[in-house]
A and B are shown apart, each in its own frame.
Chain A
């Protein structure tokens, strides 16, 4: 198994824990991830509101950069995944747009034929390509006793994701049961985390965050697991603000998918970035997974 790898900006900065754990987990599972040379930002949601063609061209550049030897490009960030996948699809559906984008790419000596690169989200790769058998086999430290609330966010569940129910996704739930965890089937797992609303209107954003934390807590989750850096940031970094705004005392660690997969595979906690989160996960992980012995 060999994939081109598109980390995206967040994984280089605030969400470094996601990047290190992705690399560590995939290596451990024997899947080769080769980082795309000279990739650029996917533009997140902002570019699209400014100028769609520019946004699509900027994204398409990444697709054009994928070397012939790779037919699949993996993105761990839900927003990057959506943007890349969307661009591929829009170019395939609209020949005029394809021509425009390729004209833009041409300035840099590049071009992209839609359909040549299959864009995959990391969750899909773990679930489908690695699969249940291998994950069960490779599990060294089952997550038994840990109550996990998988949080999908809103980007990965768009209709073209191609691997999970778009209204009520379940793939991460299933994946964690393979690893022995107790999965919390809570109702808001695909609701919005507020995204960039924290920069625009705090009350709105905090209410959205509160609902997620509240539901996870109501369902007695120990930890929330994300597949999107934005979600993780909002739930983790704003948790104390939400607590003070709403007079709450949430204390829910928010980790990335691959951090817990890494732990189940027996990787060193530090190697999968445990400790980089703001609401510390160590206490609950220790309590649930270890009977005293350090990691």
Chain B
């Protein structure tokens, strides 16, 4: 552990930048490219030491760096297997600043929805039950295979997807699925200028999507929740008031209210606002408060009819990062110990 080169050190050795992906879709990398020609500024400011998406980098090269040698690591993707966990630990050690980049690293995102199942169920589905699968021998991925040359390893697949900060210590968070390019550029600029907020900060706005949404808002009372295909919403009026479960009320601003702009309710990809511990719980609390019914029967009718998939609705992006993190595993399932 030593004083490696920081963002603003001597000329000649440019600070090192790493971009890594764990369980993710690659959208975050695309969004980085979305900063357009400014990518040249990034190239001028940093030496890119790792980015599996666009360049051939070797883990060994990273391992051989001194601890803290990387100035900034933008880590996207959640942690779903042992290799990803190893890379998270490695990059943590080698980086001065580790940024949970994008929704997957930040709060689990879509991969995190797998936490409604466990490894066995996922394997059963992926390697057996899907229509296109033919697997009469019931072959499953093995973590170790012996070949004449020795033993080959595959990463161990976990029961539970974890966020980056459930795995290693994280310095900053950049929300969004993916983070919007202008926000990425702002963050990079802040890093280059050494103008960093306190550790643990989610870099972004501290209001919610409603702040950017131009729709007319009124007092809310919801008698019926509607699915998006059921109505053509009025383009002028708050979508929630029209019965669409728009997550914009609870979702951190930063996207510019892209979805509501095109008549589609916010699905919450920017995650919770500051001080919210559990995005889904907060959203549930807010939405339930304005249900227009006063007895359990009517309330339940409104809920069960309008919100058939509550986890997918309230925890679409945040299940792994939520307080409960996952669904209850069946008794006797292979956990712990």
A–B: direct contact at CB < 8 Å = no
Interface residues of B (CB under 8 A from A): none
Binding site for B on A (CB under 8 A): none
